[in-house]
Structure formats: C-alpha cells, structure tokens
Structure 1
Amino acid sequence: MIQRRGLTIGQISDRTGLAPSAIRFYEEQGLVTPDRTDAGQRRYAGSDIRRLSFVMIAQNLGFSISEIRAQMASLPQERTPTKADWTRIANRFRRVLDQRIRQMQALSDKLDGCIGCGCLSLQTCRLYNPQDRAARLGRGPRYLMGNSASEVE
C-alpha cells in the first residue's frame, strides 16, 4: 500500500519542475507542509504536486505569495483537496482576474488619450480633465484606476 505522504523532495521536483530550493521556500511560506521521517527527511503527499503547480500558475498570473497563501489556507490539510475545494479557490481568483482584465482593457483603450494623471500635456487632456479636476479623486491615473470624468463634474 502507498503511504499518503511518501514522495521525496526529489520526486516532487521531478513532477513539478521546481528546484528543491523552491519547494523548500514554498514550505517556509506555508504553501505545502510535508511530513518528516524519523531521520528528518521530507515526505510529501501526491496532492502537494497539485498545490505546487497551482502556486506556479497563480504566480505566473501575477498573484503574490501572500495572496496565494491566503486563498490556499481554505484548503483542507487533513485530506486531499477535492474538485469542489479547488473550484472555490478558482472562482475567487477568477473574480480578481476578471477585474484585472477590465483594467487592462481600459488601459488599452485609453492609453493614447487622457488617463486623468494630471499631466495636462496632451491637447485632449485639456478637454477631458480641465484644471486637473481628476486630482480631486486622488493620486495617480484616476481614469485608469476606475474613476470616470463624470465623477469630477
């Protein structure tokens, strides 16, 4: 019978493509929690392959370790996460990704026009943001951050 936590760090490394040092880092960050043998060697569960793969994907999508850790905290430690467990996390990440997509679309659509940054250097900025009215909404490129010109009128 296969032990629940019987994979070595080398086996996990082979399966995920992560260097053992990266796996140890993710352990330090609380993203995986291997058992230890009597000799102190790490032993991972098969489900840790999925956890680490998820971390790699989430990082590639721009999520920080702390954001990933916060979401993965809801995964059960006493059993292998189910599809429903992963779906809950995926739905939370999807909402963030959808917001980022909307922001990127706004950036793409408005990049060559007034973004409410206060520079007033483009002729059109004088039309869309006279006297830097967008500054009342806060610092930075207000129109790209979700504000609209109608909020300052």
Structure 2
Amino acid sequence: MNWRSIGDVAAEVGVSPQTLRAWEKQDLLVPDRTPGGQRRYGPEHVSRARRIADLRQRHGWNPAAIRTSLSGPDDVPVPDEPADGGRLRRARLASGLSLKELAAMTDTSVSHLSSIERSVERASTQLIARITDALGVPMSSLASFTRTDASVVRADERATVVLEGGVQWEELLLPGHDLEPALLSIPPHGSSGGPYSRPGETFAFLMSGTLRFRVGGGLGDHAQVAEPIDVAEGDSVSFPSRTLISWENVGRKTARAIWIEVLSPKAWSDPMTRRIVRAASGFTPQEPAAGAEPERGADLR
C-alpha cells in the first residue's frame, strides 16, 4: 500500500499537520501506526480527510456533526449554499468599524472574524447575535433578500443563512416589520454556539425533533447554573426580553422550529441601520411611518 506521512496528507488536503492531529484527538481521522509509533495514512484516510475538510469549510460543522455525517446515512441536511461572509464585511464597513474594533465588541478574535468574512468559517447564532447588536441592526439584516414584495414571501423565495454546525435560518418576512419570524433547522449536535440574549421577547414552536434549551446563568458559569428545558415536537416555548438562553439539538434527527422574535417598533427607522442593511444585502427596508422618529441603541435586535 502507498502510505503517506502526516506532512504529505496535510499538503494534499490543504490543512496543517496540527489540524490533522486535532482531528485525531477528536476521533475524526485516526491513522494507522508503525511499530515505532509513526502515523501512516492510506488512500482511505486521505479520502476521509478531504470529506472532513469539505464539511468544515463549506458547512461549518462541528466535530460531533461531522462524525454523525461520516458514520452513515442520516437526515442531516447538507446545505449547498456557500457561506457569504461578504455580507458581514459590507455591513461592518458601512458601520465604520475595523475588524479589530468589531472583534473587541463581540468578544471574539480578529482572526476568527476575518475567517468568517472570507467565508472560510461560519459564525454561530450566538456570534451573529453579538455582531448585529454591536452594529445596531436586526439579525435578519445579514440575510440575502431578493424579493421586493413585503407582503408575500413564497416558499422558494426565503432568504436563507447557514451558520456554524449546519444550523439554517430561513427568513419568513422581508426586513421592515416589527416581528422577525424564521424557520429554524438544526441538525443533530447543532447548537446556538453558546448563550445569548435578545432585546425583545422570543417565541419558538417545535415542528419536529427535540431541542434542549438552557435558560439563565452568566456567561462564565453558564453550563453549571443554567436550567435545562427539553422541548419536543408540538411544544412551544417563550422567553422574556434580555433572557440569556442557549439551545442544542440532542436528538437523532433534524429539529425544525418556527422562531419569532419581537423587535422595537423603530428598529428599522434609523438612517444608519438602513444604510448597513442596504450595504449588506442590497435591500432597503420600507420607509418608516410618517412622524416616526429614528431610534438607535441597545434595544435594537
């Protein structure tokens, strides 16, 4: 057999040897070993490495989701839409923020934020919430809208964003409304990426699957003190504004939920908000009602 070294495989797949070692620790790619302990990679290892790299780079899946996908058939959706970090970059530039400034405001690294903007990595829902809060815009403003009719959005016209772990948000309305309804699809092991809160009330109805929510607690000790709530098909749940929550699909099939968040009545009226949305997606929200005063601040989603 034509064995390859770790350096050969790393060069062939386009990753670093350190990445291959990390995949081995995560039980994603375990090579054979010589009697002396050297790693030996065969053709099947190289093929698997390519699949892992593709799932990470194109879909942003975490190790657990990748293991599920590689272990056999499942109903995990494989989105074929590439990540579009360009919308985030355009929104950031329109706001006048540098990468360093936005990274500091969102408690993430410059390198991670840069990788997201270059569509090398996908952001988690938690990070998107932090980013849009920092920019002062609703979360749906980073989606790509092609419709102009604010009243009707057909099933095949939804603006769709695929985030870390294959979590998919499909927007059910165009920007400009006081509600942001979405269809949320979460593959097994998919999650919010950590705890976050929203300025307005949040409601979710589980159409299928199971989600485990954790509610309350601080960012540092979230896993120890947050109370778990399991929500199954047919159940609904709501959270008051500013409630710290996280969620994860702990089931064996994709969870799908109708997800609705309440915005400030003036969330779309601020000129800077409208400028950022237009720069990110090319869509301009409908003009605010006559007499409405612009509002900008922490209560924007």
What is the TM-score with the length of structure 1 in the denominator?
0.57
**Are 1:118 and 1:134, in contact at CA under 8 Å, matched by a contact in 2?**
no
Select 1:46's aligned residue among 40, 43, 46: 43
| Native 8 Å contact 2:202 2:259 kept in 1 | no
Identity of aligned residues (%): 23
Query: Could you report, residue by residue, the CA deviation over 1:6-47 in whole angstroms, capped at 9, with x for unpaired residues?
Result: 111111012111111110110111111211112211001112
Residue 106 (str. 1) matches residue 218 (str. 2): no
- Structure 2 residue identity aligned to 1:105: E
Distance 1:31 1:42 in 2: 15
> Where do residues 1-153 of structure 1 align in structure 2 (5 Å cutoff)?
3=1, 6-60=3-57, 61-74=59-72, 88=73, 92-93=75-76, 95=77, 97=79, 101=160, 103-106=168-171, 109-113=173-177, 114-115=179-180, 119=200, 134=203, 137-139=237-239, 146-147=258-259
2: CA distance between counterparts of 1:38 and 1:133? 57
Q: Comparing both structures, which one devotes a greater share of its residues to strand? A: 2
Q: What SS is found at the alignment partner of 1:97?
A: coil
Instruction: Return the offset for 1:105.
Output: 3.4
List alignment gaps of at least 5 residues for structure 1: 75-87, 120-131, 149-153
Residue by residue over 1:19-78, the C-alpha shift from the partner in whole angstroms, topping out at 9 and shown as x without a partner, is 11110110111111211112211001112222112112212212111111122233xxxx
Aligned-residue offset at 1:147: 4.6
TM value normalised by structure 2: 0.31
Q: Secondary structure at the match of 2:20?
A: helix
Can you list the C-alpha shifts for 1:84-138, whole angstroms capped at 9, x where unaligned?
xxxx46xx44x3538x94853316x34432126773xxxxxxxxxxxx7958742
**RMSD of the alignment, in Å?**
3.5
Q: In structure 1, the residue corresponding to 2:170 is in which secondary structure? A: helix
Structure 2 CA distance for aligned equivalents of residues 21 and 140 of structure 1: 43
Q: How many residues align?
A: 112
Alignment CA distance shift 1:111-1:146 (3 Å): farther
Please tell me whether Structure 1 or Structure 2 has the larger radius of gyration of its CA atoms.
1
Distance 2:239 2:6 in 1: 47
With a CA cutoff of 8 Å and minimum separation of 6, indicate the structure with the bigger relative contact order: 2
Q: Is the CA contact 2:5–2:41 (under 8 Å) kept in the aligned structure 1?
A: yes
Query: Could you say if the C-alpha distance between residues 111 and 139 of structure 1 is closer, same or farther in structure 2, counting changes exceeding 3 Å?
Result: farther
Of Structure 1 and Structure 2, which has the larger fraction of its residues in helix?
Answer: 1
The residue identity in structure 1 corresponding to 2:41 is Y
